Amino acid sequence: MLYRKLGNTDEKASILGYGCMRLPVLGGVPDKIDEKKAIELLRYAIDHGVNYIDSAYSYHGGMNEVFLGKALKNGYREKVHLATKLSCKRVKTKGDMDRFLDEQLEKLQTDYIDFYLLHAVKKSYWEKLKKLGIIEFLDSALATGKIKYTGFSFHDELDVFKEVVDAYPWSLCQIQFNFLDEEFQAGVEGLKYAAEKGLAVVIMEPLRGGNLASKVPEEARKVWDRAEIKRTPAEWAFRYLWDYPEISIVLSGMSKSEHLKENLEIAEEGHPNSLLAEEKSLIAEVKEIYRARTKVNCTGCRYCMPCPEGVNIPRNLSYLNDILMLDDVENARFQYGVLLSPEEKAGKCVECGECEEVCPQNIKIRKMLKEVKEFMEE
């Protein structure tokens, strides 16, 4: 495992971090974590050098931190930098900030959190938190030792990102970034801006919810096949990120043993500035293939869930991308008809708009669901 310094702190972290948003679950129920399997995966990762664990108050229906409190027993807590997040959406008063932090410490069964992030910061959340005294809260939490370092994860435009970076002496920021998202949200400019300010930069959605590894157009596969050094699509995506010296950690939500082992192997080669010019050219070519085919910029983060009407929003949106990226209309329609219950289908949308208010990708979900309905049902 390779390690990089975390910004202006004295800490070092594994270049591969364990993102705990997509742990294996029982029966497809998000808040029923398959604890036996998940503990095996997490501890295997730690035993093989991973030392940055990322959670949040809302992950797995609020059960993720409870799980980690169990999983990090028997000496594993001391081996890792533990990161979790304050739910910006749920905070209504300054007292809520202290209440949530104390609750998270109890769930995690720890006396302190290494990196405490504001979750999914956007302009409206940031303005609310400033009025409620977020700066004073963070200063107090640091002073009492409940947290060691501060940070934020981000989903908004570049100007908002720079404003937040400049507003507080953060230690770390977490952004969505991959070879398709160079100009999306913080983008390359935000990445380099934060690094220049001394922040460690953590990357989420390196595979766009797994799509860059599992949903590979035939055109893109042919491009990868031209490379002198043969790599899997996942390896290309990770190597692209680790090539940036400004990136400290790349998070991966590893729910299967084979994915974990592959990522650990890939991480052994994740040196900065190691890609050749010809390899960068291949990545740029694949990027244009995806951009030409992607209909919906959905990463499957599930922030839009649960839908009040029961619509399975991420699954519905994924079918539009499947058709365009994989040229597989018949299979998409088959899965829509068989795998979704009547309540989960796009036609059940009543256009309340709650999903669009929380979507970090700013997707026009209601419009997209109409397209799904027209294509799949009519």
DSSP 213-270: HHS--HHHHHHHHT-SS---HHHHHHHHHHT-TT--EEEE---SHHHHHHHHHHHTT-
- Looking at the structure, tell me whether residues 127 and 176 fall in a common domain: yes
Predicted pLDDT of residue 117: 98
- Looking at the structure, tell me whether residues 243 and 367 fall in a common domain: no
Give the Cα-Cα-Cα angle 105, 108, 109 (nearest 5 degrees): 80
Mean pLDDT of each 10-residue bin along the chain, 378 residues long: 97 98 91 96 98 96 96 97 96 96 98 97 94 98 98 93 98 95 92 98 91 87 95 96 98 94 96 97 94 83 91 89 72 78 92 93 93 85
- Looking at the structure, tell me whether residues 235 and 371 fall in a common domain: no
Residue 55 near residue 33 (C-beta atoms within 8 A): no
Predicted pLDDT of residue 327: 64
Does residue 306 have a cis bond before it (omega within 30 degrees)? yes
- Looking at the structure, tell me whether residues 326 and 227 fall in a common domain: no
Total number of domains constituting the chain? 2
Predicted pLDDT of residue 24: 94
pTM beyond cutoff 0.75: yes
- What is the Cα–Cα distance from 87 to 97, expressed in whole angstroms? 9
Run of H or E including 90: none
Residue 233 near residue 208 (C-beta atoms within 8 A): no
In a domain, 201, yes or no: yes
In a domain, 35, yes or no: yes
Predicted pLDDT of residue 330: 76
Domain housing 326: 313-377
**For residue range 79-122, what is the model confidence (pLDDT) as tens digits?**
999 999 999 999 999 999 999 999 999 999 999 999 999 999 98
